[in-house]
Amino acid sequence: MTRVAIPELDPTAIFDVTVEDGHFSGIRPVAERTADDTGTPELWPGYVETHAHLGLPANFDDSLEDPRIAALQYLYSGVTHVVDMFGFPLVQDVWERGREESALPYPELVHCGYAATAMTNAAGLTGHGVEFPAPVHMIATETDLEHAIRSNVERGGTFLKVMFTDGTEQPGSRVKFSRLSRRVLEFCARIAAERGVTAVIDCNTLQETRWAYECGFRLFAHTVRDRTLDAADWKEFEGARFVSTLAGLRPMIMTGDEFASEYGREGFAETQDVRNLEFVKGIEKPFGIEYGCQDTRTAALADMRRNALATLREGKLLIGTDSGNTGAYHGYSLLSELDLLRGDDDSLDAALRRQATVGGRRYFDELSGVGHATDPLGVGARATYNLHAPGRPLSALPLSTVVGGVPIDRPTVVRAIAGLRAAGTDRRVES
């Protein structure tokens, strides 16, 4: 491979890159890259989805697609690493069988096992997560958590996902779920640290985030959504990192025209269930209006984006979608997330691409428990990368995707997805 830019290594240089046995064997600067260069493709590591749910139904008919299809949907969009935050053991056997049988490489995957949440409270509310089809561990004692960690490790889980939110999104919005007590939150953080297990926590509000941070949590599955944090607020969260997840919330407030535009990019009809396109054509008003949460959800998304961009400036933003929630699709929505974060500010392009690739990969390695972050662009590293055309929208598909030195042919991916559907996999797992 000759004449590529690698902005992460040196934005002012053009490189020649060689690959042998699926690994980078040479990365050599050979020329200067000028400011007006618009034709040299950029090489970046593969995209990393830092917040997905393979065990939740993204389709509007509330059905769960075959996980082998989800793997190919990620591959098509240039996503080479996936963090599953909820219930991967539910689909593990099918995913692994698909990997063994596939002629195409699969994305690398790290998962938590099953998430931990609160018990039912005196008001009859269950902890967040119980409402979904994937199982969760309900935690009240240290023994409960010890069992959860042990059983998750047996299922291949390498990190702990703690659900800690009562479901409120803006001041005054209703409480939906029970919430772990301060005592339980403290021993969750302590026991995870004692066992050497990285812990990620699911919070909505500033107060929930404060409590979790005070108890020792530093990785947050979402950005704060009930207010835009100011400088004093940010001082409280030194060392914390947050996942963006705008794409998972936005479908609630979208109009029919917005759905048509969002799902009209290249890649949706090729990889996703087209029955979803037919469904959104019939949407007359946003679900937020129907369910009385349009204003609060709109405000929540605005707060989340502003808070995400504040962490982007500090290099502490992780790009993730919450895919698996209705209307947020595996692979496709990661590219949507980048556009939602960018808005009209093209000065954010390089930073967002960096956090979606290099930053995400470091996070993936951390959750994998490998003990150190690998350099995805070093000589000797596995040759897994995307080539991008400079100046195209962040939501555009990569020019090409290579996994372990194997170029991914998108038409082959499309045929493989169609073959799985034709074989009966689109009867799917009803949730």
Question: Closest Cα partner for 151 from 164, 168, 139?
Answer: 139
Q: Residue 2 has what pLDDT?
A: 77
pLDDT band at 401 (very low <50, low <70, confident <90, very high): very high
Cα dihedral 254, 338, 221, 77, rounded to 10, equals 100
Tens of pLDDT, residue by residue over 41-80, are 999 999 999 999 999 999 999 989 999 999 999 999 999 9
Residue 270 neighbours by CB distance under 10 Å:
17
Q: pLDDT above 70 covers what percent of the chain?
A: 97
Q: Residue 123 has what pLDDT?
A: 95
pLDDT at residue 372 above 70? no
Cα–Cα distance list, 384 to 22, 401, 402, 414 (Å) = 8, 8, 5, 20
Q: For 209-221, what is the mean pLDDT? A: 98
What phi and psi, each to the nearest 5 degrees, are found at residue 336? -65, -40
pLDDT at residue 412 above 60? yes
Tens of pLDDT, residue by residue over 171-187, are 988 999 999 999 999 99
When mean pLDDT is compared across 29-33, 159-163, 171-175, the lowest value belongs to 171-175
pLDDT band at 371 (very low <50, low <70, confident <90, very high): low
Q: Residue 374 has what pLDDT?
A: 75
Tens of pLDDT, residue by residue over 281-297, are 999 999 999 999 999 99
Strand spans (E) along 67-157: 79-84, 108-111, 116-118, 137-139
Q: For 212-241, what is the mean pLDDT? A: 97
Q: For 318-339, what is the mean pLDDT? A: 97
* Structure tokens, 347: 């000065």
Instruction: With beta carbons less than 8 A apart as the criterion, state whether 43 and 16 touch.
Output: no
Q: Residue 333 has what pLDDT?
A: 98
- Count of CA atoms in the C-beta half-sphere (13 A) of 28: 8
Is residue 52 helix, strand or coil?
strand
* Structure tokens, 202: 């699911």
Q: Which helix (H) or strand (E) holds 386?
A: strand 385-388
Q: Residue 430 has what pLDDT?
A: 40
- Return d(Cα 60, Cα 56) in angstroms, integer: 12
Q: pLDDT above 90 covers what percent of the chain?
A: 92
DSSP 100-140: HH-SSPPPEEEE-SS-EEEPP-TTSPPBTTTTSSS--EEES
